[in-house]
Amino acid sequence: MEDNTGYSILRNPRLNKGSAFTLEEREKYGLQGLLPEAVETIETQIVRIHEQLDNFSKPINQYVYLMQLLENNETLFFKTISNDPVKFLPLVYTPTVGEACQKFGQVSRRPRGLYLSIKDKDNLKKILKNWPEKDVRFTVVTDGGRILGLGDLGIFGLGIPIGKLVLYTSCGGVPPEYTLPIVLDVGTNNEEFLNDPLYPGLKCKRIRGKEFDDFVAAFVAAINEVFPKICIQWEDFPGVDAIKILNNYREKVCTFNDDIQGTAAIAIAGFISISRSMKKRFIDQRFLFLGAGAAAFGIADMLVKKFQRDGLTEDEALGQIWMFDVNGLLVNSRTDLAEHQLQFAHDLEPCTDFAEAILKIKPTAIVGVSTVGGAFNQQVIENMSAINERPIIFPYSNPTSHSECTAEQAYNWSKGKAVFASGSPFAPVEYEGKTFTPGQGNNVFIFPALGLAIFATEAKRVTDDILLTAAEAVAKQVCLTDFEKGLIYPNVADILRVSENVAVKVAEEIFNSGLASVERPESICDFIKSKMYVPEYK
């Protein structure tokens, strides 16, 4: 590290306190004259940040300001975010991070993360050692292939790992020095970037197939050698690659995919929460999915595990889950089903009308993972309302334009009966004098808490049981007063408290399953608390 005196301290985001340096510290480190006279508290600094931030009308400009704060004073940045997560999470992550990725070439300032090119496949260990921290525990990795609903953004997709790891710290208490954002540069199919002389990534079409698989294998081997306690979170890879990578490595290294498993866990948390609010047994729920891709199977597989945990056999669990794709209901007489779809196909006459399928199957919940905006039409909602006193409507597709229905449509068409949650945010809805607060299945309640538990226990693997435990723990954080407001997920304002409680339950599961690399403490609660990063000046 540089000489830790004077100007160099002010340039080091981990050491810098800005105007909060005491008079003694200013004399000791040679800071006199480099700062104004006043010695301020961190609370005063936060007031100034709010005032400065309010000068920017566009969220993207507020994002740039906050990222500059992160590069200047890490403690102050994380204290600011964690003090008001409701205000700041949409600015440092979704939805603003999507635009930040699109404009990454214009808005990025100092390097935050590593760019690993497929051309350097045989040199990855040496490159990883260029990172200044020698004990990295978490990396969020993308290849920029499918960023949110925005498509292929090449190496500009690095904005997603940066944002995600900010949430690990601000919402889960994972110390920031243990985190590393990475983008794998395998080219891009984005024509605009390929024709842009200022695009700084590989100027070639995406490299696929065996060459891509070999690069991913080399990366996994190298990062586990350089950082033996690493947990790899895969993010925003195209669907087929996402499933393949997860299946290839989930039994070999500590890894998970938030798009598949985090989404499934937060969906299950919502279903558990709804069952509690209805005073209904979870095993009495019956699900019909619109869409039969990676997201549907992620949720459905975890549903099977939840049903089994609650006492059903595997066959009984599968019988509670139905799927409907572009060719209609998944039924045994169809000859076009892929192998992984067969277990969710049942004996029934073929049906190609989703609204009609509802009347045949009588689900208590419909789950939209089709990315077809408006697919839950008025007939669909009315049919669900005809067979259920409280129909569960979950349009989970992102972004908002792809949502299978809006909150307003669900409440209006069901005459206020619907229990609604979505992947995209929707504003509260008034119906006949009553205000309904739509739930949003936000993975932020899952992965930061999961990360904190993995960090504390040094877990060797991330199993489905661990993720299901996280889902159950999130659901337990929703109280009766939340249900009265129509909420089925915890309040984002309580995210740190929720994450701590969820992490305790996840850590218990890790210890119970023999996957921890540290000794079990007397009090897991105290143990988790002791591992959490607190953004305070030292």
Q: What are the residue numbers of the active site?
A: 93, 164
| Rounded Cα gap, residues 226 and 128, in angstroms | 7
Please give the distance of CA 532 from its chain centroid, rounded to a whole number: 19
Compute the Cα dihedral for 16, 18, 22, 24 and give only its sign. positive
| Rounded Cα gap, residues 220 and 208, in angstroms | 17
* H helix or E strand, kind and range, residue 24: helix 23-28
| 3-state SS class at 21 | coil
Q: Which residues contact 399 (CB under 8 A, 6 or more apart)?
A: 95, 98, 148, 149, 424
* H helix or E strand, kind and range, residue 70: helix 59-72
Q: Please provide residue 288's backbone torsions phi and psi, each rounded to the nearest 5 degrees.
A: -125, 120
DSSP 102-142: HTHHHH--S--SEEEEGGGGGGHHHHHTTSS-S---EEEEE
Cβ(307)–Cβ(283) below 8 Å: yes
**β-strand 392-395 against 365-368: which pairing, if any?**
parallel
Closest CA to 405 of 478, 354, 361, 444: 354
Would you state the torsion angle of the CA atoms of residues 514, 519, 524, 526, taken in this order, to the nearest 10 degrees?
-160
| Rounded Cα gap, residues 3 and 30, in angstroms | 11
Closest CA to 229 of 247, 254, 251, 248: 254
E strand intervals along 423-485: 429-431, 434-436, 439-440
Please name the amino acid found at residue 213: D
SS3 content of the chain, % helix, strand, coil (to 5): 50, 10, 40
Q: What is the CB-side half-sphere exposure of residue 146 using CA atoms within 13 A? A: 12
Helices (H), 292-341: 294-309, 314-318
Cβ(488)–Cβ(270) below 8 Å: yes
CA triple 87-478-470, angle to 5 deg: 90
Please name the amino acid found at residue 83: N
Closest CA to 290 of 384, 372, 188, 230: 372
- The label of the residue with tokens 């992102």 reads 398
